[in-house]
Chain A
């Protein structure tokens, strides 16, 4: 009767078929076969997720599948939400991948791993025991790693990105492993049900350790500062549809992990947990968007924007936890709803933005905004779709991102009513962080759209760009449809969000009411009517256009030359580039960004006054990475170098090591026993 179980089974089976198709089908038909099957995997997961969100529940135990513990699976509304989002992204991306699979992406390895990665994305939220969760989590990390390095033959930077990603994701896994094993040991069971009922047995110190380690692991997966270093490397270097999967679906699972472990399994906790979450989120939001604002690589910009958006989500989670710790359940539910809605919105627009970036990359081979431009005339559909995605990302109405940011701001603003000094200090700063992130996001996406797609082409590659094939456009069109739906009738998600919150252990009624297509906060004052807003904006634009036509007496529009300041005709090189666009912002945030610049003047040999060549270079390196990771890496490298001396090749010395080791061990045993 419930479609949940069958849908999940179908999804898994289709994933198997898709992997087999990736291995067996001949190269020509391979992308199509794999793409269709993977899209079906996503569609089945979407069906399952939606059915869970409408109230379905399902669980299963397969003891024979894994030795010792067996496999435990369960679906509630919370996992349903993340499964539905991942499923939708997978379906769209798989369709897109059919057309995108050039440049060696139709190789057997890539095509076989893609469905596996897609399947783990939809299955991680289904896991209901520590061993199952960790297994799927690691499978997801490993398969995504293989996809990140898919283009290793084309660029040397791919290998570096792969190493960074592999190391960071596995450090995360170690932290998560320790956290969950600690939890399971003290709670007396490893299924999520046992953890949930045994959470009260943990001492506060252990609870704190478990949450801290899990937060580090999950926040790193979500690309939070300072554990974000892998994200701006892996996202740009991965093939674009894989970037879309990672950025729109995989990072969400970090959020899922925090909600599942923090709210559901541990049942909330000390205030510092949530203050920490909120701080990490706020820092990531501002730092991420600041790096995006000065980035010139289109995909790197989008990657940093992911850091920003997930930061906003974490602000919501932190606020929800804080409110819950003060007993303000309604506010907590509102903040959590804002966070979850932002996950959905972000998935929709970020998938579209990455797919559009992939479409540009395919047409021009360029990711550098400084060399793009003028795509509007050559790739009109891609430009329009990117513009729609950017509207979602800048958090302005009538975009979809605005609605969740509005909810987030509402929850933060109303939270000040709580009688606590901590809150009255924290919440204004959180609002300021959200506002600064929103302002910088506007500048960032104006830059991405205005410099990358509008204006005139700055390179021959951009000038000879061709529109993408229909299958890619259709996939992006589906994303656009999702964005429009989320932007105009977000109220449709009110009930599912309330169910997801209930599953996360915040037992309140629906926080959002939707009378006549409005979004209304139930227990607090505030309402928003996105549909009417969009309609009135459209109507006013049309009215203004009609009025102008009437007054201008229907004169025809004429093409005119650009104003050339009295000099020669303006060339494409005179245009503002992404670097110059971001220069004022970079100068304002000089102290935070710490750009490195280098002027190299070569004088003519005979004279010190005549200059032959001036070379100017400016880089804005990721400062946190620079300060935090480089010293550690240098130290590790020097330890490694020093350790080389230990292995001199003398057998006598090795025997000496063995002897000394044995003696030390025996002495240690004698002392401790």
Chain B
């Protein structure tokens, strides 16, 4: 029983690692088709990673351990998060520690590591990217925790397993205004955290507008592959988190092999659909100015605050 639970956690991590580049491929393909281009194919991100991995690792002169370890930490934090979140199964050995605050903090740790690496290179771009990234991260934090707060009120706990299995058992809870507001707030935050439009443009290489890209300009070879993989994994995990929180159907609550397999397939489908929807939406969006981003985040913070009050007043406690 426990072995299958452990296998479920391992399968989640494996699926996230292996699936993240595909997901990026899907998003690029959707975008290309909607823009009237043919696109590079679903496996192009994978091919890019493979190519980068085989290159010789380089370090810019003067950069130190922060620069070298940041890509590893980025991937590692996301992998641990992928194991913690009940993406496919709530019956894993780590489900007791699957705390939503811990998940948020682990993702923030990856951000911090990359920002330090950006500063470590000592270039103007690295610093610029780090500064912008930390500004956004600082403003995202309250929104995330407020959404967490809103979601944990009906469940009475910040434990993800409790929240997800509670919602799966009681779908009416999901249709409540509190849950919808929280979902919207979390969705905005996901865009900001993963550097998607309208906050940051993942395909930009125009220096003055970029955030994430500016931090990682000095990376090349396997390090760059890890950073890219890390960013793709973060997107996958956050979309998976949204899917688990707001559409928890099909997640295995027992340790049956069949249930687990179905759950894995369902998880992949849900995340792919979400990603495709996001990519389609991005076609119609423009990137907002950096100093308009706080307004967007303040808006989503307000939604999260409303979610908390709604969940308090509407549940009648």
Seen from chain A, the residues whose Cβ lies within 8 Å of a Cβ on chain B are 293, 373-374, 376-377, 394-397, 402, 406, 409-410, 413-414, 416-417, 419, 424-425, 428, 431-432, 434-436, 438-440, 442-443, 446-447, 449-451, 454-456, 518, 524-529, 532-533, 536-537, 540-541, 543-545, 548, 551-553, 555-563, 570, 572, 574-576, 580-585, 587-588
B197 beta carbon closer than 8 Å to chain A: no
Q: How far is the CA of A410 from the CA of B218 in the complex (A)?
A: 40
Given contacts A443-B134, A443-B138, A561-B60, contact A552 B99 (CB under 8 A): no
A527 cross-chain contacts in B, Cβ below 8 A: 96-97, 99, 159
Seen from chain B, the residues whose Cβ lies within 8 Å of a Cβ on chain A are 53-62, 64-66, 69, 72-73, 75-77, 79-80, 83, 96-97, 99, 101-102, 105-106, 108-109, 111-112, 115-116, 118-124, 126-128, 130-132, 134-135, 137-142, 144-146, 148-149, 152-153, 156-159, 162, 217-218, 220-222, 225-226, 290-291, 294, 301, 305, 308-309, 312-313, 317
Given contacts A518-B97, A537-B80, A540-B79, contact A585 B138 (CB under 8 A): yes
A432 touches B145 (CB 8 A): yes
B308 cross-chain contacts in A, Cβ below 8 A: 416, 428
Out of B53, B138, B301, which one reaches A551, CB within 8 Å?
A: B53
A397 cross-chain contacts in B, Cβ below 8 A: 102, 105-106, 109
Shortest CB–CB separation between residue A433 and chain B, in angstroms?
Answer: 8
Shortest CB–CB separation between residue A441 and chain B, in angstroms?
Answer: 8
Inter-chain residue pair count (beta carbon < 8 A): 261
A396 touches B112 (CB 8 A): yes
B99 touches A428 (CB 8 A): no
B66 cross-chain contacts in A, Cβ below 8 A: 376, 450, 454
B64 touches A376 (CB 8 A): yes
Given contacts A562-B62, A562-B218, contact A583 B97 (CB under 8 A): no
B159 touches A525 (CB 8 A): yes
B76 touches A541 (CB 8 A): yes
List the 10 shortest-distance A-B pairs measured between CB atoms, nearest first.
A576-B127, A450-B119, A439-B141, A439-B138, A540-B76, A455-B122, A435-B145, A443-B134, A435-B142, A525-B157
Shortest CB–CB separation between residue A531 and chain B, in angstroms?
Answer: 11
A442 touches B131 (CB 8 A): no
B61 cross-chain contacts in A, Cβ below 8 A: 559-562
Known contacts A396-B105, A548-B53, A560-B220, then 5 further A-B pairs from the complex at CB < 8 Å, ordered by chain A residue: A376-B120, A413-B148, A416-B308, A450-B119, A529-B96
Q: How far is the CA of A608 from the CA of B127 in the complex (A)?
A: 36
Interface centre among B119, B124, B148, by most chain A C-beta atoms within 10 angstroms, is B119
B149 touches A587 (CB 8 A): no
A570 touches B317 (CB 8 A): no
Q: How far is the CA of A588 from the CA of B305 in the complex (A)?
A: 20
A402 cross-chain contacts in B, Cβ below 8 A: 105
A377 cross-chain contacts in B, Cβ below 8 A: 64
A572 touches B122 (CB 8 A): yes
Q: How far is the CA of A559 from the CA of B61 in the complex (A)?
A: 6
A548 cross-chain contacts in B, Cβ below 8 A: 53, 57, 72, 222, 225-226
B109 touches A545 (CB 8 A): no
Shortest CB–CB separation between residue A518 and chain B, in angstroms?
Answer: 7
A588 touches B291 (CB 8 A): yes
A575 touches B123 (CB 8 A): yes
Out of B96, B102, B116, which one reaches A454, CB within 8 Å?
A: B116
Q: How far is the CA of A78 from the CA of B169 in the complex (A)?
A: 45
Out of A424, A425, A450, A572, which one reaches B120, CB within 8 Å?
A: A450
Q: How far is the CA of A56 from the CA of B246 in the complex (A)?
A: 52
Q: How far is the CA of A94 from the CA of B218 in the complex (A)?
A: 43
Q: How far is the CA of A171 from the CA of B148 in the complex (A)?
A: 42
Sample of 26 A–B contacts (CB below 8 Å):
A376-B120, A397-B105, A409-B158, A413-B149, A413-B152, A416-B317, A450-B119, A454-B120, A524-B157, A526-B159, A532-B97, A536-B83, A537-B73, A537-B80, A540-B76, A540-B77, A541-B69, A543-B76, A557-B58, A558-B57, A559-B58, A559-B61, A562-B123, A562-B218, A580-B127, A584-B290
